[in-house]
């Protein structure tokens, strides 16, 4: 699939998050040794799901048989890591004392959406494999929309919530409600753009 602006934005956010902000945040809080077991597994699953989304949104089944097979198996892996990671994310958000209540609430909303889009997208593509014609196309579009919402809305959700801190608008580590609300705005802008550019095969 041709490069699109939403994919480049999402990949840039992932690179900044995983390569710069997350390691420093983890180090400032005492490192991996101070994480709960639930959060460690959640973090591993969340990173895996996000990286699969980065790959699968660029290399779709239309790129050829080999990439289609890779896309398929990575998608299956991501379905498992998405569900396991979300479940343990709930455990960590509401039991780890270092997580602010506002952050726990915001991430819980994202978690509900992540369950929904993960299951909906998986069911749609499984049904599409047994369908033909217009029904198959309809189900594939449902799958594509669900995976777009999963990536840009849910996987990147924690990053969107942290944007005010990254931009220096609030103190890093704090989580006022207005910042949580502001973190919900980028997905509503980028998700429709991602669906449109994917469908039309355009950059913008």
Report pTM. 0.90
Q: 40-89: per-residue pLDDT in tens?
A: 999 999 999 999 999 999 999 988 999 999 999 999 999 999 999 999 99
- The total of structural domains in the chain comes to 1
User: Per the structure block, which two tokens stand in for 196?
Assistant: 């449109």
Range of the domain at 195: 5-200
Residue 70: CATH number of its domain: 1.20.120
Q: How is the chain split among helix, strand and coil, in percent rounded to 5?
A: 80, 0, 20
Q: What is the DSSP string of 124-162?
A: HHHHHTT--HHHHHHHHHHHHHHHHHIIIIIITHHHHHH
Phi-psi region of 175 (alpha: psi -120 to 50; beta: other; left: phi over 0): beta
Q: 167-177: per-residue pLDDT in tens?
A: 887 776 666 77
* pLDDT recorded at residue 182: 78
77: which residues sit within 8 A by CB, 6+ positions away?
48, 52
């Amino acid at each position: 699939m041709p490069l699109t602006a939403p994919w480049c934005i999402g990949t840039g956010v992932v690179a900044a998050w995983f390569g710069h902000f997350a390691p420093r945040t983890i180090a400032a809080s005492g490192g991996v040794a101070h994480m709960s077991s639930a959060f460690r597994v959640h973090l591993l699953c969340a990173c895996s799901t996000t990286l699969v989304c980065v790959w699968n949104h660029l290399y779709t089944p239309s790129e050829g048989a080999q990439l289609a097979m890779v896309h398929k198996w990575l998608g299956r892996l991501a379905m498992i890591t998405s569900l396991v990671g979300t479940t343990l994310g709930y455990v960590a958000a509401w039991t780890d004392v270092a997580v602010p209540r506002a952050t726990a609430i915001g991430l819980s909303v994202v978690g509900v959406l992540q369950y929904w889009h993960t299951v909906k997208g998986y069911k749609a593509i499984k049904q599409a494999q047994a369908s033909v014609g217009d029904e198959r196309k309809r189900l594939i579009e449902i799958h594509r929309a669900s995976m777009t919402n999963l990536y840009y809305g849910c996987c990147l959700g924690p990053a969107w919530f942290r944007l005010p801190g990254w931009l220096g608008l609030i103190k890093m580590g704090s989580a006022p409600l207005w910042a949580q609300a502001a973190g919900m705005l980028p997905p509503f802008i980028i998700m429709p753009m991602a669906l449109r550019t994917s469908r039309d095969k355009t950059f913008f």
